[in-house]
Amino acid sequence: MEDIRTIKQRFEIIGNDVRLDRAIEKAIQVAPTEFTVLITGESGAGKEVFPRIIHGYSHRKHAQYTAVNCGAIPEGTIDSELFGHEKGAFTGALAERKGYFEESDGGTIFLDEVGELPLSTQAKLLRVLEAGEFIRVGSSKVQKTNVRVIAATNVDIPSAVSRGRFREDLYYRLNTMPIQVPPLRERGGDIALLFRKFASDVAEKYRMPTVRLTEEAAIVLENYRWPGNVRQLKNVTEQLSVLEQERSVSAATLRGYLPPDANQLPMLSHPRENESGFANEREILYKVLFDMKRDMTDLKQLVHDLMKGSTGEKEAERSSILFRELHDTRPATPDFVRATGGRGHKMEHDEPIEDTEEIVEESFLLEEKEKELIVKALEKNKGRRKWAARDLGISERTLYRKLKEYHLDYE
């Protein structure tokens, strides 16, 4: 068996941290077996290299290796991607298609972000792991496959199990051989090594002098928490190499490329996205509140324009009636009733002018506003869910789930 140093060179792994070496050792030890492996660690920590190590030192090394990012596949097509489908199984299925499990028969399949799988797909994955069986979408024929499954996730699976978002039986089936990849902030001695490696790669690729850090900058580099881990460090190094004219980077210059560390900023309360499971819904709520504020601003501008006659004498007269009656305690006139759409609501003299906004009847239920916002985004993007999800600041999978929840037809 090759030593760890040789393995690091083969797979371009940089670092001498004891926990990193232990993770590599476990990958080598488990490689000759057929055990299912679950690799855990933060996003950007380098989890994707360990499945390649396991496959490369296994008996399946000459067979196919397939890496699947489960989080990047929409919920409506994940079953088809993994298990295949028959011709005519759904709209657009013009021919039968083999899934990843069928294509990888005899080899290894790496399921990245396995914690993002829908519960229905988790049940099918469990059947593959326990019996080596699967069924194509639109078929009733049971097919066999002989694949080794390696999974990775940055999700706290035990917490997801307790919230009912991940099957407990699947978790224990995947977690036969766990491998924990340490985050970069816990590999202090490796940060400088990685920086030099990335800087050297950029300099060689673009034929430029290599950037170097001053002593103060090196201290800043090692003390930063690196929430994006190795991926973030590589991005910062490449930016410094390309954008900075001076090849010696000071601490002040380096700080300009480091986003504020959320863990070092004061917070009113601790975020509970992982406990509540509503991180994406919270993003929509924020957008709904801003949208409501914008609607109110537009309404004020409309009333102002109407008062100035910008939309015609008839509308100006209607607005004038509305404005006058809102500040009058006398009984509502027929003109006022028509101007307010039949509501005839009045304000007392001692009420502030801002309260006139209350005449707008609008549903403030979160579900209704969320539904309205989703419809607007889809209409703006002509039904293209990917673009609509981007505008809403949510994943395409979350948008698909919301469409089903609200019975919105945007196929």
* pLDDT on residue 106: 96
- CA torsion sign, 72 to 77 to 83 to 87? negative
89 CB burial (10 A radius; 0-12, 13-18, 19+): middle
Distance CA 232, CA 291 (A): 33
Given a cut of 50, whether residue 269 has pLDDT beyond it is no
Distance CA 367, CA 284 (A): 10
Query: pLDDT confidence of 358, banded at 50, 70, 90?
Result: very low
Query: pLDDT confidence of 357, banded at 50, 70, 90?
Result: very low
**69, 39, 68, 70: which is closest to 53 by C-alpha?**
39
Q: Any alpha helices (H) in 157-278, and if so which ranges?
A: 157-162, 168-174, 188-206, 215-223, 229-243, 251-255, 273-276
Domains assigned to the chain: 4-182 (3.40.50.300), 187-263 (1.10.8.60), 278-297+363-411 (1.10.10), 312-359 (no CATH)
Using DSSP, state whether 333 is helix, strand or coil: coil
Sort strands 37-40 and 148-153 into parallel, antiparallel or unpaired.
parallel
Q: Decide: 127 and 135 in contact? Cβ < 8 Å.
A: no
What's 262's DSSP letter? G
User: What mean pLDDT comes out for the span 357-377?
Assistant: 65
pLDDT in tens, 213-226: 999 999 999 999 99
> How many Cα atoms within 13 Å fall on the side-chain side of residue 91?
2
* pTM as predicted: 0.63
- CA torsion sign, 395 to 400 to 401 to 402? positive
Q: Which helix (H) or strand (E) holds 13?
A: none
Mean of per-residue pLDDT scores for the chain: 81
Distance CA 356, CA 307 (A): 15
pLDDT in tens, 57-94: 999 999 999 999 999 999 889 999 999 999 988 888 88
**102, 101, 118: which is closest to 110 by C-alpha?**
101
CA angle 377, 380, 383 (to 5 degrees): 80
Query: pLDDT confidence of 402, banded at 50, 70, 90?
Result: confident
Bridge partners of 39? 152, 179
Tokens for 78, please give them.
């994940």
First to last CA, the chain: 53
Which residues touch 60 (CB under 8 Å, ≥6 apart)? 106, 107, 108, 148
Given a cut of 90, whether residue 295 has pLDDT beyond it is no
Find how far residue 258's CA is from the centre of its chain.
21
* pLDDT on residue 347: 45
Distance CA 42, CA 184 (A): 9
How much of the chain exceeds pLDDT 70, in percent? Answer: 73
Full DSSP string of 176-196: TEEEEPPPGGG-HHHHHHHHH
pLDDT in tens, 199-217: 999 999 999 999 999 999 9
CA angle 127, 83, 96 (to 5 degrees): 145
* pLDDT on residue 272: 38
- Angle between helix axes 4-11 and 18-30 (nearest 10 degrees) is 90
